[in-house]
Amino acid sequence: MDSTKLRNGFVYLLIMVAIGAILWSYRSQTPATEELAISKLAVAVKAGEVNEIVVNNDGRKLTVQYQNGQTALSQKDPNAPLEDVLIAYGVTPEELLSVFIRNEKASDWTNIIAMLSWILPALLFAGIFFFMIRQAQGTNNQAISFGKSRARMFTSDKPKVTFSDVAGLVEAKEELAEVVEFLKEPEKFISLGARIPKGVLLVGSPGTGKTLMAKAVSGEAGVPFFSISGSEFVEMFVGVGASRVRDLFEQAKRHSPCIVFVDEVDAVGRHRGAGLGGSHDEREQTLNQILVEMDGFDTDTNVIIIAATNRPDILDPALLRPGRFDRRVVLDRPDLRGREEIFNVHVRGKPLAADVELHEIARMTPGFVGADIENTINEAAILAARRNRKSIGMSEIREAIERVIAGPQRKSRILSPDEKETVAYHEAGHAVVAHMLPNCDPVTKVTVIPRGMGLGYTLAMPEDDRYLQHKVKFEDELAYALGGRAAEELIFGDVTTGSANDLERVTKLARDMVTRYGMSEKLGPMVYGQKDELVFLGREIGEQRDYSDSVAQEIDSEVRRIVNGAYQKALDVLTQHRDKLESVAGRLMEAETLDAAEFEALMSNGQPPTPPKLLAPPKPVTRLAEAPDLSGPSLELPPSPAPA
């Protein structure tokens, strides 16, 4: 039990005992009957009505017990014996023999209660005074500790995370290995006049392993590790954040050499002067204290600061200058080899079936980060347990990958025959266009089973990791994304709202091609429009137009030309290969799902075309109504490439 709770419980118990003793003492002092005069007592003894008389230990108080069971109280001179007093009032010695007279002993409970009647009230007031003092001290301690750092310290006796637990980040581990070597052998660097970086900033997308890498550095170095989040510095009270920063660095200096890890440092490290109204708010005061502590007068301590963020663009420049965060280590999304290594780490201790090939799984998961891979293996293990398997097979891992990408299957959503046919041709349109165009990724799966928010999806995975995107690649991807709508118009003469997500992504990519990537021959290699962003809020609030209205009209015209050209390309491909479109759609309506091998067989051999059931005669489209999205998240276009 906590010592504080035990102490408080003892105080409460003492108070209750004291109150009970006071009540008992008052009760014991309350007379049972009216007080009897000594003369009347003598008359009662002469009449033979008294059975017993008890003389109190002080010789003054008398307790009279009558023959009928009643009691009375009386008093006498404490210096005279009771027998002499009664004889003086006319009681004969023979009459006294009928009355039992005894003296009360001093060890009786009455003496104890009498003492407690004045001792316990004193203890009661002393206990209340002591309790009030302790409460006041506790309040003061809480007020003082409010400005203390909330960092959690991990020492070497805890289970360690080492570089062997971090896979796929070879360059980052090489950069941080120097930090570990300095913490282990600082004299090696000091003798050469070298200065170790004071701060290391880990930059990467969410889930790439920034926190894990910081723990691995601490585990390799075997030094104390302080961990705190950037949001834990700032409170509603002014000055608390700066006080916690000072306390954190004081603790770190006492335990040096050590590592201080600040997760999500952008919570306190944003640009100064970017608050609402440009005021000097609590975050800026906290940031100023961090800047002073990282590069103040006391620079001889072996304390290394490691911070993690996925928004380095909003950090204050003073935080990134040499002398504070000297190094910026980028933790990028892992490539094919890195994903395979990460899969090897996360399958440790898990039973795998003989058909599991981690290299093939890594090829099926482009763009996955470490958190996605860990989630994939966990989902596969859950699926295997649900199916009562003794090991994790390739089928469970494939299903887990699709769950991570597009969400779980929704087999309870039953489509009508007409809707199922529409979805089948929609997804077949995507698949056929992707197969026929040379710059599209290979189709690995086509299904009309609802998953996530989509009623069906086409999964096209790249064979290799790609870091640059070409214009011809974008043009074919646009046609692939519009293949579903083109198939609906070609087969049914009508279109549905299932292409809403496709149209949104196509329009955005086409506009980026014109305004960001300079892929318009008419407008040339220029960037149009600057994004406005409130650093304090951390999001874009609009676009600043740095071009004229005539240029805006040309941008709209170019976007329309690119989208229309891609749509016409998709229509031409599907018109030329309509037999394959109908074969794939017919097979989808029967089997609901096609894997890569079956789809390739249909595209190479083909099947007799099945005449489709027209929902309506061909007619021009005038309006799109709201309806569920048929395309699903699998039709998402590849992310915009970073500038080379």
Q: Are 358 and 342 in contact (CB under 8 A)?
A: no
> Which pLDDT does position 448 carry in this prediction?
86
Report the distance separating Cα 463 and Cα 470, nearest Å.
16
| Contact predicate 478/420, CB 8 Å | no
Domains and CATH numbers, the chain: 3-110 (3.30.720.210), 152-331 (3.40.50.300), 336-405 (1.10.8.60), 417-635 (1.20.58.760)
What is the number of residues in the chain?
Answer: 644
Strands (E), 152-302: 152-154, 199-204, 225-229, 258-263
pLDDT of res. 100: 66
Closest residue by Cα to residue 640 from 516, 525, 475? 516
Per-residue pLDDT at 449? 82
Query: What letter would DSSP give residue 487?
Result: H
DSSP category for residue 152: E
The question of whether 521 is a catalytic residue gets the answer no
What pLDDT is attached to residue 475?
92
Taking CA atoms, 554 is separated from 216, 239, 519, 523, 558, in Å, by 53, 53, 14, 8, 6
**Under 8 Å between Cβ of 376 and 404:** yes
Cβ atoms of 168 and 334 within 8 Å: the answer is: yes
Q: For the chain, which residues score pLDDT lower than 70?
A: 1-12, 14-15, 17-34, 51, 57-59, 69, 75-79, 84, 88, 97, 100, 102-118, 120-159, 235-239, 274-281, 296-301, 411-413, 452, 531-544, 606-644
For residue 634, what pLDDT is reported? 38
Q: Look at residue 30 in the predicted model and tell me its pLDDT.
A: 45
CA distance 509 to 476: 12
Do residues 356 and 392 make contact, with C-beta atoms less than 8 angstroms apart? Answer: yes
pLDDT for position 558: 93
Distance, in Å, from the CA atom of 113 to the CA atom of 107, rounded to the nearest integer, reads 11
Residue type, 401: I
The residue from 232, 293, 427, 488 that is catalytic is 427
State the alpha helices, DSSP H only, in 482-548. 483-492, 500-515
CB 253 within 8 A of CB 303: yes
